[in-house]
């Protein structure tokens, strides 16, 4: 029975994630998991935690194997479920420490922090904060970032579990801690979280979604068709501007991989991008695959000026392991036949900020939007606007693109910056600094979004704290473990 409850808690947590807007299910899922772990041995709690992890990650991540088969999806889900096992083991130890709901919430944040960094750079996908983009807790991201949003969500669930047990055991005094926790959460939610920017400016941004061609073309023809689609949509946008149907944009953002043909070595590709930039008359951020002299590649975003051509570049800093590069190539090649399908990209450096038409733009390429430190570094370096160029065509019509959109909503609030998402095949979107999606495209449909967005320069508390909340939670958990072990020793 407990095994079913554990797996069900993970499945419930999955249901709270986009594209469903059932954010309120997450605390219930956490409460069910904590009740399942109650009074269990360390080994049993870890096992139940693992079942919850499988119940969550198996339905969350099928997009990983959309075009490469089920093995990578199942492997990733079973590995990531170990994080839930770790939480279960820690919960078994600290669950009886006074103030347990607080320490359990800290433990969840600490475990998420660990899996966001290891192995191979980590995998933050599925952090509980990313399921809260449409809920009333979202403003808390400006105070303590995604870790703080996870903390409060789990705290509510842990408080609900504690309240349920207090009622069951008729120990009314035990309701005090969860009641205080809920009161603190309510106070935080109603506390103004955004930093007022008295000198706010606005700019007009155009996001181009060129779409991808139907299957059937050979590889190089596919790549050229994608580039031509983005050029054609930009030319149509220029025609609409001249006709007065839309306003003149200040800048244009193309998606990741909008030019998989290297424009620095292929004159035809460069000429096509030049044509689009001259037609619209403003700089375009172009997602390109650029070859290096050593035979490896860069996944880069290039500022393409209508007069001077290519300028500043941002190379993707957080590459996808087993997708864009192969970790431990010697070992992995022997272990799996899938290893040979990995790319040969080199990670970039720098702070992720480029100057696009006078705008200090943070570029978070696709997978990078999931990582706290990358965007924090960019905003601290003066970014006024966040762009997320992405290529989701490989993942078909799965939930992946909506999960990624929710991450962008959290980032907008976390840093008080508007976010523009440019996807090759969708979903492209415009997100306000309050996390509201004002425009979005359909999947696999060519489209252009044009919007006036604010440029902010002040920073939120979350931006200034950085990883501070994760560090505080980790230290708190370590303290709770010390207290718990001390209690066991005295009892013995």
Active site residue 366: yes
Chain centroid to Cα 262, Å, comes to 28
| Pick from 394, 384, 441, 389: nearest CA to 418 | 384
**Cβ neighbours, 10 Å, residue 232:** 15
Q: Which helix (H) or strand (E) holds 166?
A: helix 141-169
**Cβ neighbours, 10 Å, residue 173:** 7
Strand, coil or helix: 305:
strand
| Pick from 129, 159, 160, 157: nearest CA to 143 | 129
Residues paired with residue 291 on neighbouring β-strands, in sequence order: 297
Distance CA 477, CA 95 (A): 11
- Backbone φ and ψ for 133, nearest 5 degrees, come out as -65, -25
Distance CA 148, CA 161 (A): 20
Q: Which are the contacts of 68, defined by CB distance < 8 A and separation ≥ 6?
A: 338, 341
Selected catalytic residue, list 80, 324, 366, 470? 366
Distance CA 395, CA 17 (A): 17
Structure-token pair, residue 1: 């029975």
Distance CA 315, CA 43 (A): 44
| Pick from 425, 422, 339: nearest CA to 387 | 422
| Pick from 318, 202, 298: nearest CA to 257 | 298
Structure-token pair, residue 111: 């475990």
Selected catalytic residue, list 256, 377, 414, 470? 256
Structure-token pair, residue 45: 């709690």
| Pick from 273, 262, 267, 260: nearest CA to 217 | 260
Active site residue 43: no
Residues paired with residue 314 on neighbouring β-strands, in sequence order: 301
Q: Is the backbone of residue 439 left (phi > 0), alpha (psi -120 to 50) or beta?
A: beta
Distance CA 310, CA 457 (A): 27
- DSSP symbols for 365-385: -GGGGG-HHHHHHHHHTT-SE
Distance CA 227, CA 302 (A): 14
Selected catalytic residue, list 80, 106, 112, 316? 316
Active site residue 236: no
Residues 314, 454, 419, CA angle at the centre, nearest 5°?
Answer: 45
**Catalytic residue positions?**
256, 316, 366
């Amino acid at each position: 029975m407990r095994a079913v409850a554990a797996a069900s808690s993970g499945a419930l947590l999955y249901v709270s994630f986009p594209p469903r807007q059932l954010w309120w299910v997450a605390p219930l899922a956490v409460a069910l998991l904590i009740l399942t772990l109650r009074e269990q041995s360390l080994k049993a709690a870890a096992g139940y935690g693992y079942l919850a992890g499988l119940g969550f990650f198996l339905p969350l991540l099928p997009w990983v194997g959309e075009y490469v088969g089920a093995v990578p999806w199942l492997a990733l889900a079973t590995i990531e479920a170990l994080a839930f096992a770790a939480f279960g083991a820690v919960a078994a130890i600290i669950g009886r420490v006074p103030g347990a709901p607080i320490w359990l919430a800290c433990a969840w944040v600490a475990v998420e922090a660990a899996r966001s960094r290891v192995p191979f750079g980590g995998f933050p996908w599925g952090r509980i904060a990313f399921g809260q983009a449409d809920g009333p807790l979202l403003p808390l991201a400006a105070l303590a970032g995604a870790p703080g949003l996870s903390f409060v969500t789990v705290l509510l669930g842990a408080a609900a579990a504690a309240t349920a047990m207090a009622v069951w055991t008729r120990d009314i005094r035990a309701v005090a801690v969860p009641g205080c926790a809920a009161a603190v959460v309510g106070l935080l939610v109603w506390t103004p979280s955004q930093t007022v920017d008295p000198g706010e400016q606005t700019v007009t941004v155009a996001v181009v979604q060129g779409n991808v061609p139907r299957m059937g073309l050979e590889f190089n023809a596919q790549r050229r068709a994608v580039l031509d689609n983005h050029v054609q949509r930009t030319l149509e946008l220029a025609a609409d501007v001249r006709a007065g149907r839309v306003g003149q944009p200040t800048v244009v953002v193309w998606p990741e991989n909008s030019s998989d043909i290297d424009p620095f070595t292929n004159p035809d590709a460069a000429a096509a991008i030049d044509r689009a930039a001259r037609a619209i008359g403003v700089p375009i951020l172009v997602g390109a695959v650029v070859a290096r002299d050593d035979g490896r590649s860069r996944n880069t975003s290039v500022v393409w000026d209508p007069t001077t051509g290519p300028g500043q570049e941002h190379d993707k800093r957080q590459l996808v392991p087993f997708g864009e590069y192969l970790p431990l190539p010697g070992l992995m090649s022997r272990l799996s036949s899938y290893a040979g399908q990995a790319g040969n990209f080199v990670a970039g450096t720098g702070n992720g900020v480029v100057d696009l038409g006078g705008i200090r733009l943070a570029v978070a390429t696709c997978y990078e939007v999931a990582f706290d430190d990358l965007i924090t570094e960019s905003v601290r370096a003066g970014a006024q606007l966040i762009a997320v160029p992405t290529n989701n065509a490989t993942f078909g019509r799965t939930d992946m693109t909506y999960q990624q959109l929710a991450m962008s909503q959290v980032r907008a609030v976390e840093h008080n910056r508007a976010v523009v998402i440019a996807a090759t095949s969708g979903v492209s979107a415009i997100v306000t600094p309050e996390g509201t999606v004002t425009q979005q495209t359909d999947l696999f449909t060519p489209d252009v979004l044009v919007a006036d967005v604010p440029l902010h320069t002040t920073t939120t508390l979350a931006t200034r704290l950085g990883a501070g909340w994760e560090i505080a939670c980790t230290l708190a958990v370590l303290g709770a473990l010390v207290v718990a072990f001390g209690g066991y020793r005295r009892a013995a």
